[in-house]
Amino acid sequence: MLEYRLPRLRPVPLALACLVLSVLCVLPATAQEPDFVAYSKDVKCLATAIYFEARGEPVAGQAAVAQVVLNRLRSDRYPKSVCGVVYQNAQARNRCQFSFACDGKSDVPREAAAWSRARNVAADALAHRREVWAVGDATLYHARYVSPTWAPKVTLVSSIGQHMFYIEPGV
């Protein structure tokens, strides 16, 4: 009969093992552009809008921004693709639908955790797993600290976090 003995390993102090594991688990991943093989173009465009427009908002606020983009897809007033909606008029400085798209700043996410959350919210929104009933059919929104000229002409339906959501007449 053959006998096999495991080599004797030196015990590692528990404190050292915990330190190594905590460092490995807490180190932030670097935010990177998503791989187009892994993420569809729609997810990337929607996640980018969520990240730059609402990354500091609660998940419900991020989902509400995503819902506005998706609500616009159903309207004849807006492009018929997620990326088309997100980047509408992006070539015209400060005349676009989403300020990040035409502000002249980099559109590369820098905060890995916020980018990951935005991608998850975008994927859920596109799969219709996360809808914000309070936003309903809203196609417009703005941050509380701005006063767009169009706001008095539309109907306020909800406020979530730092954003106010509106329905356009006839949309």
Higher pLDDT, 2 or 114: 114
Phi and psi at 68, nearest 5°, equal: -60, -45
Contact 132, 64 (CB under 8 A): yes
Would you say residue 162 lies in a domain?
Answer: no
Would you say residue 48 lies in a domain?
Answer: yes
The residues, ordered by sequence, that sit 6+ positions from 8 with a Cβ below 8 Å of its Cβ are none
**Angle 151-159-63 from CA coordinates, rounded to 5°:** 110
Q: What integer best gives the mean pLDDT of the chain?
A: 81
Determine the average pLDDT of the residues in 129-153: 91
Phi and psi at 157, nearest 5°, equal: -115, -25
Would you say residue 101 lies in a domain?
Answer: yes
Would you say residue 141 lies in a domain?
Answer: no
Please report the pLDDT score of residue 33 as a whole number: 58
Number of structural domains (the chain) is 1
Would you say residue 5 lies in a domain?
Answer: no
List strands edge to edge, sheet with 155-160: 140-143, 163-167, 155-160
Q: What is the pLDDT of residues 85-132, one digit of tens each?
A: 999 988 877 778 888 888 888 889 999 999 999 999 999 999 887 778
Would you say residue 115 lies in a domain?
Answer: yes
Range of the domain at 79: 41-130
Q: Residue 28 CB: number of other CB atoms within 10 A?
A: 8
- The owner of tokens 């300020």 is 99
Nearest Cα to 68, choosing from 89, 53, 90? 53
CATH number of domain containing 97: 1.10.10.2520
Residue 154, pLDDT > 90, answer: yes
Would you say residue 140 lies in a domain?
Answer: no
Would you say residue 151 lies in a domain?
Answer: no
Higher pLDDT, 28 or 60: 60
Q: What is the pLDDT of residues 12-43, one digit of tens each?
A: 454 444 433 333 333 344 555 544 443 489 99
